[in-house]
Amino acid sequence: MIGFDEMGIANTSAACLMSRICNVKIDACMGRSTGLDNAGLNHKRDVLAAALAKHAASTDPVETLATFGGFEIAMIVGAFLAAADARITILVYDFIVTSALLVAHAPNPAVRDYCVFTHASDETGHGRMLEHFNAEPLLQLGLRLGEGTGTVLALPLLRAAVAFINEMASFESAGVSDKAV
């Protein structure tokens, strides 16, 4: 298994990637992040809407990444593609990491087959991205944290699931009849 995260603060790159790739208005993609007041939220929306309008020709996901993404998101995109190519389970946590999956998924939809969504972020837009991928995260704890927190919290569940599959007794090995009484 491999998981990714970053130190996102305002989620502006992820919001622009989501808006462009999912073709939704920026308002549905961005939120208060670090606790913006109404004036700060309005300013953020105006700046992001202007950036999207200025680069309206950027519609290809990789071009959109080059226009709006940071190096950390580009690295995560590449790592998603490499992990899927190596058939490694990918633990997907939070808004920014899921925005990287939007980019990686465009040229290689099979990437989704290797993803386990660990946590539903409280950040505006993340729920909509999860719907885009028809994903049901393991945890919904209302966290607004980065640093892979949701992935670390989901690890015990994943380890337990693997142990159940690999170590749980079958009816036969436990000497239990499967015939109706």
* Catalytic machinery residues: 147
The one-letter code for the residue type at 46 is D
Overall residue count recorded for the chain in this entry:
181
* Contact (CB, 8 A) for 1 and 85: no
DSSP 169: P
Q: Where are the alpha helices (DSSP H) in 69-145?
A: 71-85, 94-105, 126-132
Listed residue (8, 4, 45, 2) closest to 144, CA to CA: 8
Structure tokens at 171: 């009816």
Helix axes 38-54, 12-22, angle to 10 degrees: 50
